[in-house]
Amino acid sequence: MGVTILTQFPVENKTGPQIIELLSKRISALGAVPQGQFLVDCETYSSVPALGHQRTVHVLHNSEQPATVFALLETGTKTIPLATDGLFDLLMMKMSSFYQSKKQTKAESKGPRFEIGDFCVKLGSVTVSSNFKGVLVEVEYKPCVVPAMCWDLIMEFMQGFLGSLGPTTPPSFLQNRMQDIYSPIDTIQQYLEHFTLFRKSPGPALIMRPQ
């Protein structure tokens, strides 16, 4: 698991498949090899009033870590990450009288996955309760585990195929974690950040870039 940077690609009056197609062509021209599909999904549960103040649990799955379930608990003041295994979903069902899922907010990002050198590129079209919301580009540089060391390198790579639309600053989530060892849950937190933005935005056309 290496450092992963997630960025949003502006839609600009195109459909999701069109953008994915465009980016796929660009990355393939650089010599990337398609390596299957990927899927990241997120379901959100919020606490019942009887449990005191409002808390939210986001449960995310990433096809890159198929046996792991990620849960992020938002208390309002902080976010607590938890990595656990597949049966956690079963436990969430048991907890249904304390934490109820908000059906309208099921978000997922899915699409093709490419490998090029030591990089892994994923182009995901994001849907929130099956409405298309936008496109997320994920770039992972597998050999390196400290974001600060390889940020410039990844940025250069992303600008290579996203052009001027590539990111110029690290994602806000990573900004104060640049010297830490990167772990899969950090990717998940980036996804959650973007999903939250997408949920708030009314439609695909009006998305602001998160920076």
Residue 36 CB, nearest distance to other proteins (Å)? 5
Residue 113 CB, nearest distance to other proteins (Å)? 9
d(CA 5, CA 64): 15
Q: Which of residues 92-151 bind other proteins (CB under 8 A)?
A: 94-95, 97-98, 108, 110, 116-119, 141-146, 148-150
CB 113 within 8 A of CB 23: no
Q: Report CA 207 to chain centroid distance, whole Å.
A: 16
Query: In residues, how long is the chain?
Result: 211
- Closest C-alpha to 46, from 87, 104, 1: 104
Residue 156 CB, nearest distance to other proteins (Å)? 5
69: helix, strand or coil: strand
Q: Which of residues 19-48 bind other proteins (CB under 8 A)?
A: 31, 36-39, 41, 43, 47-48
Q: Which of residues 149-188 bind other proteins (CB under 8 A)?
A: 149-150, 152-153, 156-157, 160, 181, 185
Binding residue for other proteins, selected from 10, 21, 24, 55, defined by CB under 8 A: 55
Binding residue for other proteins, selected from 12, 33, 66, 172, defined by CB under 8 A: 66
Residue 7 CB, nearest distance to other proteins (Å)? 17
d(CA 202, CA 186): 26
DSSP code for 151 = H
Q: What is the DSSP string of 38-102?
A: EEEEEEEEEE-GGGSS--EEEEEEETTSTTEEEEEEE-SS-EEEEEEETTHHHHHHHGGGTEEE-
Residues lying near other proteins in the complex (CB under 8 A): 1, 31, 36-39, 41, 43, 47-48, 50-53, 55, 57, 61, 63, 66, 69, 71, 73, 75, 77-78, 80-91, 94-95, 97-98, 108, 110, 116-119, 141-146, 148-150, 152-153, 156-157, 160, 181, 185
